[in-house]
Structure formats: C-alpha cells, structure tokens
Structure 1
Amino acid sequence: MSDKNVLFMARTTRFHEFVRTLGTTMGAEVFAATPDSPGAAHDFDLLVLDADGVRADRLEQISKWLESRGNIPMLLIVDEEALPELHLPAHARADFLCSGASTVELEVRARRLMGEDDPFLAEDIIKIDSMTINLATYQVYLDDEPVDLTLMEYSLLSFLATHPNRAYSREVLLHRVWGFEYCGGTRTVDVHIRRIRSKVGPQIAGHITTVRGVGYLFKD
C-alpha cells in the first residue's frame, strides 16, 4: 500500500501520465477528478491541479475546500503564458510548476509540499520591518497576515528585496522579472510597483524608492 495519496484534478488528460509518475518516484497512489466535481472518494495528502481553464474564484473555492480538509497542500501546473495572471490563494499551502517541467521537478515540489524534505532554510526567509518574504513558498506576510499578491507582483518585490540598495532601470527589471520574451512596455513595471506599494502599506512601501530617470531601488 502506498504511503501517500495524490489527487490529480484536471479537465483534460494532457498531464495524466506526467502526474502518474509520482506513483513510481514516490510510491504514491494517484487518483483523478475534475475541478468541477472533485468527488474526494479517497483521503489524499496532496492535490495536483492542472490550472488551465480554472478561474481565480474557482481556485479560491478549491483552496478553501483543501483548508477544510486539514489544510492539504496544492501543486498547480501552469502554462508559461498564464504566469503573469497566476494568483496563488494567500492562505493556501501551495506551489506551482510550469507545463513542460521535468518529472524530477514534479517529485521535488511534491515532496516539499508534503513535508518530506528539510524545513525551509534560514536563507529562504527575508524579514524587513513587519514584512516577511518566504522565498520557498512564494508568500509574503505583514505581521503574520498573508499579503494577496499576484505571481508577478511577488516576483518583482522579492527581486528588489533580495537586491537592496541598488537602482534598477525599468528595462532591467523587465528582463530580470518578466524574462527575455516579454513584449510589453516598461509602463507595466510602474503599474506593478504601484500595486505592490498599495498592498504592503506605507511602512514597507517606504523602502521602495523611485530613482528619477532610472527606475527603482529597495532600501534595506
């Protein structure tokens, strides 16, 4: 009998065989369901969700359902083009990987969510005044309360916070945070900075400095 049970939730079978490799790599038993009718005929230790076509409100409902079952962790499989809109529920024990990832990465992330690896290292935690950034779980807290950030907001904030006291141009931030293939203009950086400032409050927002004619700097 398997030590762990994994529920795979998807509308299609495109990742069915990929997720079933957890049966070989971890000795887990994998069950299937759809996002609209989870069924939950079995107890399970991890939900793997193909996020394609799953709306944000449905994702939030699934997160609350997992919380009601003992805060079961969730691993999302996300298409790369959907990353800018990815919004991990703030209270969820959640992680994600991009479609096209290896079975090794799938196993590592699954084990981490189920507590089968070491707890986060000290270097995974950044504390700045009342804010805590957990680099291992992609979560930000203010006074132990989770901050509701999109993935790109989190990525921009964590990049600046891990590279303090250095000014970065908008072009460099686009390259480092959004990646080589981003085709939008530099104004998107300003929009994301404004959203971050509004969400983290005035104390933390004061660390994010606008450098005229250049871009932004995070003061530690």
Structure 2
Amino acid sequence: MQHHKNVLLVSKTSRLHERMRELSHSLDISVLLSTPDTFDQAISSGHDFDLVLLDLAGLSSETINKVDAYVAGNSGIPRLFSVDEEQLPSLRMPVQGRSDLILATASEAEFEVRLALLLWPGEETVPSDFVTIDNMTINLATYQVTIDGEPVDLTLMEYSLLSFLATHPSRAYSREALLHRVWGFEYCGGTRTVDVHIRRVRSKVGPQVASHIVTVRGVGYLFKL
C-alpha cells in the first residue's frame, strides 16, 4: 500500500505547477512549490520531504548546490530532474543518491511513473514501466510501442497521445483537454491536430488496438479497456 509522500518542487518558472497539481490527485502526494528565492524558507518550514523535483530551466548553480547540500543532509532523498532537450548534452547527474531525469515536455503519464518509482521503490503498487493491452505493449521508460513484439514507428506526439490515453482508460477527454495534457500549454495549434494524430495512431497500431480508441461524439476520445 502506498503511503502519503511530500514533494518539493524547485523551479524558476511556473510551467510544471499545473502538472504537479494534477499529479497530486492521481498520486498520494502533497507538493510544495518553491522558487530559488523561497527555497531556504521551504526547507525550514517544518515539512519532511520525500523527493525534490528540480526544473533545471534557468536554475543557477548556486541553487543547485543548495539543493545538493539539503539532500546530502537528509539521508540522500531522491531527486527528479526536469530538463529541456537542449540541456541533455551538458547534464551531469549526481553520483550520490537515487535520481532520475525526465524531459519537461514528457506526458503526465511518464511523470507519474517516474515520480512513483522514486517515491515507492519496490512496492507492488508502483506503476509498471510496461502497459500491455491485447497484442500491444507500451514501454513508458523507453517511449517504445510494440504490436505482436514488432516495433511500431510512432512520432513522439503520437506516442505521447497513445500512452496518455492508455494510462487513463475509461474516461472521455475533450480535444482541448488532450491538447492541454499531451501537447502542453505552449501549443498554439487548433484541436484538429488531435483528430489527425488519433487517425495516424489508429492506422499504425492496427484494428485490434485501434478499436480501444473510441470517438465520443460531441466530446472527444476515450480509451476503452
């Protein structure tokens, strides 16, 4: 059984705030939001944190060093680093302690898995990296999809859309909600993009899996188990 956990988000921007609010509903976590200026206040607030999530965009080395010192002084609590793709070549992960990284543009489903694996290691209730439905397997850790053991050539957005729907089954999502949850706040295109990607995903995964992706008239789409 999962036990409630406290997460500290250290971020110079607010781009992950809404995502963490959503995850606080799907995972048994409380999230305290802090900026580099309020980090000292956050760690002296009396809360015991079980994980620090750092959004590295714009964070100074001074702030990162402060976080390192806090983690080292608190039994090496795990860290999850949220990074932009262009930061990957220069990223150096800590040698000490448990840590992981995730792209800031990753789907909420992947954020949920990576947070859970750090917060509840080894517990049976931790979401698996693998989602299997009929003859399809989604590997959430490697962004790969196979049908009957054969890889399916999906773009990143096609994969993100499919994995989000498959990990949130039996609930209808509007096109606007899917744009918000899969493409993110910064996307400026119209809702027709969702229809185009749904059509491409259905054609690539084949009729057996495609039958799970149901069009809900007047609403949007639902993944039926």
TM-score where L is the length of structure 1 = 0.49
TM-score where L is the length of structure 2 = 0.48
